[in-house]
Each structure stands twice: as C-alpha cells, then as structure tokens.
Amino acid sequence: MIKRLRDIIKRVSQHLRLNTRLINYYWQRTRRNKLAVSGLAFIIFLVALAIIGPFFTLDPTEANFEEKNIPPIGFVTEQSIYSIETDEFTTKEVPGTWKHPLGTDSKGRDMMAMIVSGARVSLQVGLIATGIAIILGTIIGVLSAYLGGWVDNALMRFTDIMMTFPFFLLLVLIIFIFGPSLAFIVLAIGLTGWTGTARLIRSESLSLRTREFVVAAKALGASDNRVIFRHLIPNVISLIIVIATLSIPGVILAEAALSFIGLGDPTVSSWGIILEAGQHSLNTAWWVAVEPGIMLFLTVLAFNFLGDGLRDAFDPKSNI
C-alpha cells in the first residue's frame, strides 16, 4: 500500500516537473490575452477573498438597528427618523463610515462582511456544481462515444430529453420539492447541467476512438476501463478545462437567479440572497442591491474572459 502510494507520488512529481515546460507554453499563450489575464487575476483575488476574507471582516449575521442603512464610504444619504416624543419625522444626513466601508443593509449588517461570505458561497456553488456537471458529462460523453451502438443511442436520447426540459423550471421544481437548502441547490444545478458537456465530450471522443493509439492500446491488452481513463479522458482534458471555466459563471448566475426569486437557501448569505433582500430597499439603500450585483457581474465576466483565453490557448490551430 505504502509502496503503491510512493509510486503514485513519484509519478505525479515527475509529471509536474516534466510538465512545467508545457504549462509554461500554455501560460505564454494565455498571457498574450490581456482580458484573460485580468480575469485570472480577479478570480485569484476572489478565491483569496473567499478563503481568508471572513477572518478579517465583521460577523455578517450580526444585526445592529442603530447603524442600519449606512451608505458606502464617500456617499451620504438622508434618513428620516421618526421620533415618538414629537411624533414627527426628522431627516438626518448619514455619511459612510470606515467601520462599514461598503455600508450596511436595512438590518444594520455589514455589507463588506456579507459580500465576502457571499463570495465563499457563490464560489462553492460554482465549483462544486460545475464539478458534478463536468464529471457526469464527461463520463456519459466518453462512454457514449466509446461503447457506441445502443448504449450511445440510449445515452444520447436521454441527453436530448434532459436538454428539452426547461432547465430553470426543472431547478425550481426540484427545489420546490426538496426544500431550499444550499446542498440541494448545488446538486440540482449539477445534475441538470451536464448535457452540453456530454455532447461536446462525446463528439471529441468519437474522433479519438478511431485513432490508432486506441487500437494499439487494445492490441497490447488494455481493458476498456484503461482505454477510457488512460487514453480517452487525458486527451479531452483541455476541452474539459475550457468547458468548466465557461460554465462556472452560468452556475453562479443560476444560483443567484434562484435566490432572487426567493428559492435560495435563506440560511446563507449568497450574493443572490443579498441582491434579493436589497431590491426591496432600492429607494433607501441602493447599495445593498448594487454591490452584490457588481460582484456577480465582475465574477461572471472574469470567468468568461479566462475561459475564452484558455480556449484560444489550447487550440493548436489558433494563432495568438
């Protein structure tokens, strides 16, 4: 067992050492695309924010009605305050404070803390759901292409059926039935989002399957399992990376959209949930809706730029 583990570690480290050349090559190609690099930079920033951010911010769940609806730094709003003694509304100018750089919401919670913990949630949703969808799609696509015949037919017709379902309606239905917990939302997005991946992987594997090295592997005694996992899947990895990068923003948006129509998990503060809460107070505190909106916008844009850049870098036919 230990020997086996050592084998694997040895191989992986050897691969990493050898592959620095290749990784370097792709990095050189990606680097020429300024948008992709800025996308990558933003994603790295976001990941860092999600991982270490919560240790430095205030508690995102702590409500404080004394400090509600404080605007972000540099903005001033007018708040009407009702006084019981005089039975009158008085208006008061409230400036942004450094204690709450991004302001507070209608319950006095710190927006900065909420945005940061929202980043964590949104990234989790994006990565896990995409992971599920990609794994499912890859397995279904490769099996379909490799086995062919009736298996291919059955799997692809099933994919067709999945594709004809209105994706969002299906999500709403699943969440309506099982309840709005984040785990179910992630699972539901993952289990419905694999169809496009399956199609792409299948078409790529179809052409790989007839390549001579697959026949050669079989000629040397490789089992079907081995052919699929050692020869087919490694050859579609670059495609998988691109699909994954490009589908993460879709997933994040899907979660936000679900939250926005009130089907999000109310126990976590994802960007969608904050946005949904903010829309009711657009008149008094516009920043509560705008801030998570901007973050969503930037995140989606960053992933899309990076995905496009990677696609160009991995495509040997493109001259960049």
Partner 1 sequence: MDNEILKVKNLKTYFFTRHGIVKAVDGVDFDLRHGECLCLVGESGCGKTVTALSILRLFDSPPGKIVDGQISYDGLNLTTCSSEQLRQIRGKDIAIVFQEAQSALNPVLTIGDQIIEQIKLHLPVDYARARDRAKTLLGEMGIPSAESVMSYYPHQLSGGMKQRVLIAMGLSCDPQILIADEPTTAVDVTIKAQILDIFLELKTSRQMSIIFITHDLAVVAEIGDRAVVMYGGKDVETAPVSEIIGNPKHPYTSGLIECLPDISKSTGKLASIPGTTPNPIKIPPGCAFHPRCPKAMEICSQQEPPETTISKEHKVNCHLYT
What are the residues binding partner 1 (CB under 8 A)?
A: 3, 7, 10-11, 14, 18, 149, 211-213, 215-223, 226, 230-231, 234-235, 237
CB 240 to partner 1: min, Å: 12
Please say which residue, 124 or 235, places its beta carbon nearer to partner 1.
235
The length of the chain is 320
CB 234 to partner 1: min, Å: 5
Cα–Cα distance for residue pair 27/235, rounded to 1 Å: 19
CB 244 to partner 1: min, Å: 18
Please say which residue, 14 or 203, places its beta carbon nearer to partner 1.
14
CB 221 to partner 1: min, Å: 3
Neighbours of 157 (CB within 10 A): 10
CB 227 to partner 1: min, Å: 10
Please say which residue, 169 or 220, places its beta carbon nearer to partner 1.
220
DSSP, collapsed to helix, strand or coil, labels residue 221 as coil
Q: The tokens of 38 are what?
A: 């800025």
CB 167 to partner 1: min, Å: 33
Angle between helices 195-209 and 111-147 (to 10 degrees): 40
Neighbours of 279 (CB within 10 A): 12
Please say which residue, 87 or 212, places its beta carbon nearer to partner 1.
212
User: Distances from the Cα of 35 to the Cαs of 24, 29, 49, 296, 304, in angstroms?
Assistant: 18, 13, 21, 17, 10
- Give the contacts of 257 (CB within 8 A, at least 6 positions apart): 168, 272
Please say which residue, 3 or 92, places its beta carbon nearer to partner 1.
3
Please say which residue, 243 or 251, places its beta carbon nearer to partner 1.
243
Neighbours of 314 (CB within 10 A): 16
CB 231 to partner 1: min, Å: 5
User: Distances from the Cα of 83 to the Cαs of 65, 87, 124, 176, 308, in angstroms?
Assistant: 15, 6, 44, 43, 57
Neighbours of 297 (CB within 10 A): 11
* Angle 27-33-39 from CA coordinates, rounded to 5°: 85
Please say which residue, 183 or 215, places its beta carbon nearer to partner 1.
215
